[in-house]
Amino acid sequence: MDPFLTFKISMVAASRCFNILLRCKTTFIFSSSLVRGLGNRVPIPHYRPHNYFTCVHLFCPIVSKIVGNYNSLATQAARDDEGMADEFLNQILATYRNAPNSSKERCNAYVHKLCKAGNLSTAIRLLQSLRDNNIFIPNAYNTLLAAAAERNQVDLSFRIFKDLLVFHGPLTLTCYLNLARACADTNDCTALIRYVKQVSDLAFPNNMIVINRIIFAFGECRQIEKALLVFNQIKGFGCKPNVITYNTILDILGRAGRVDEMVLEFTSMKEGGFVPDFITYNTLLNNLRRVGRLDMCLVFFREMDDSGVEPDLLTYREMIEAFGRSGNTREALRLFNDMKQRKIRPSIYIYRSLVDILKKAGKVDLAMSISQEMNSSTPDLFGSKDFKRKRR
């Protein structure tokens, strides 16, 4: 029988016996020889009012023995796993040169098996031994990183991440997201900053790219305070933030509804000598629009224009819809006309949205006029296919 199953059965049996004896109205004493041998499980009656302490006195040695046996089995199992991993390592080293692809597949499957069993320490030892022999298998590392993240093992996750960064090069977004997920339950800010600095040092001279992606990943995982913590420590990493850094932070704050902080950070960005770009202004406008701060939308829309940053079709569409839904059809129409004056070809969605807005506002004649303009311009309007091509 499986030793771990035996341990479970033994613990359940001991627990049931303990409960039965506690319910007895008669008190008991036991011979220590019976406790050791467990050959005779029939208690000897004796009237003493200390059932609980008697039961504890009886079962402590039993449970200790069971737990001791389990620990011994667990230790032996870990040694067996390590022995199997060493044997597997030797097999991979022997076959990799002649069959690298099949060796990688076997390694991926074996690491997946170890992760599923929760034996992550053996998995990382195996992969690092392969790495030391100039065999690096990114997919196996990714599997291990996902497993470490699921178990919130911060130290192991950063070890895996650093190996991937050094030996594999540019990492996928999934790697960054798994790293962020691993940190979900940690409150040790000092350790977190130390880990991120280590990553930054390894990533030089591309460390700012990596830091930006770590900040983005924390934001995607709704770990806003950790994203801000890393952002505020950038100079301590020997790095300089850039426009991408600020755009990322603005979006994280905006999506969290913290638009006042977003605006303050935007001000700090300009004071630091950074020139906002198209993405910066669109981030501000989108997040302010979502919380109904249309007055500020107009301020930043005008600032965008004054700075020489031209809004695009999507910017106009969102602004027109926002003002239209708020009942400010006058501003919606002004933006619509401004868009056409800039030679920005309207989309069919803007026309339909504007027609619907005007009808709801009771401006039926104007809605009909816009509708006729839409119908006469249909061949030249942007549609769904145009947006799909643009995204590609």
Bridge partners of 382, per DSSP, are: 347
| pLDDT score at 120 | 95
Question: Do the beta carbons of residue 110 and residue 119 sit within 8 Å?
Answer: no
Q: Which residues sit opposite 44 in a β-bridge?
A: 29
Q: Where residue 153 falls among pLDDT bands split at 50, 70, 90?
A: very high
Strands 44-45 and 28-29: antiparallel
Q: What's the number of CA atoms in the CB half-sphere (13 Å) around residue 363?
A: 17
Q: How confident is the model at residue 181 (pLDDT cuts 50, 70, 90)?
A: very high
**Predicted confidence band at 179 (pLDDT cuts at 50, 70, 90)?**
very high
What is the pTM (predicted TM-score) of this model? Answer: 0.75
Calculate the average pLDDT of the chain.
Answer: 83
| Residue 77 pLDDT > 70 | no
Per-residue confidence (pLDDT) for residue 297, from 0 to 100: 95
The CATH code that applies to domain 311-392 is: 1.25.40.10
Nearest residue to 71 via CA among 3, 20, 127, 13: 3
Question: Could you tell me the residue ranges of all domains in the chain?
Answer: 1-81, 311-392
Name the residue with higher pLDDT: 12 or 96: 96
Average pLDDT, stretch 63-84?
50
Q: Residue 248 pLDDT > 90, yes or no?
A: yes
**Amino acid 57: pLDDT:** 53
Pairwise CA distance, residues 18 & 213, whole Å: 55
Among 76-85, 209-218, 303-312, top mean pLDDT goes to 209-218
The pLDDT-based confidence of 254 (bands split at 50, 70, 90) is very high
Partners of 28 in beta bridges: 45
Q: Which two tokens stand for residue 242?
A: 């850039």
Does residue 169 register a pLDDT over 60?
A: yes
Give the span between the Cα atoms of 334 and 332, in whole angstroms.
5
For the cut 50, the answer to whether the pLDDT of residue 46 exceeds it is no
Supply the DSSP string of 338-383, one letter for each residue. HHHHTTPPPBHHHHHHHHHHHHHTT-HHHHHHHHHHHHHHGGGSB-
For residue 245, pLDDT beyond 90: yes
> What Rg, from alpha-carbon coordinates, does the chain have?
33
In this prediction, residue 128 has a pLDDT band, given cuts at 50, 70 and 90, of very high
